[in-house]
Amino acid sequence: MLLSKGFEIEMYTGTPQGEIVGLSDQIVASLDGFVREPDSRNVEYTTAP
């Protein structure tokens, strides 16, 4: 079996109440390798397998 990704680190960027803070766009724009989740509250960094 071939792995499609290595480690995945996912970070929540909203409030405890679930409100979007707006950091995910800034993180993705500023840091290579980070992608935003569809709901805009999480960002993730995935390494190669």
In a 3-state reduction of DSSP, which class is residue 29? helix
Any domain includes 30: yes
pLDDT over threshold 80, residue 12: yes
Residue scoring higher pLDDT (15 or 2): 15
Q: What percent of the chain has pLDDT over 70?
A: 100
Residue type present at position 28: V
Any domain includes 2: no
Residues 35, 38, 40: CA angle, nearest 5 degrees = 75
The CA-atom distances, in angstroms, between 45 and each of 1, 5, 13 are 22, 10, 14
In a 3-state reduction of DSSP, which class is residue 43? strand
CA 28 to chain centre: 8
Any domain includes 1: no
Look at the chain and report how many structural domains it folds into. Answer: 1
Range of the domain at 13: 8-46
Instruction: Say whether pTM exceeds 0.85.
Output: no
Any domain includes 3: no
Q: Return the bridge partners of 45, or none.
A: 9, 34
pLDDT band at 38 (very low <50, low <70, confident <90, very high): confident
pLDDT over threshold 90, residue 21: no
Any domain includes 15: yes
pLDDT over threshold 80, residue 36: yes
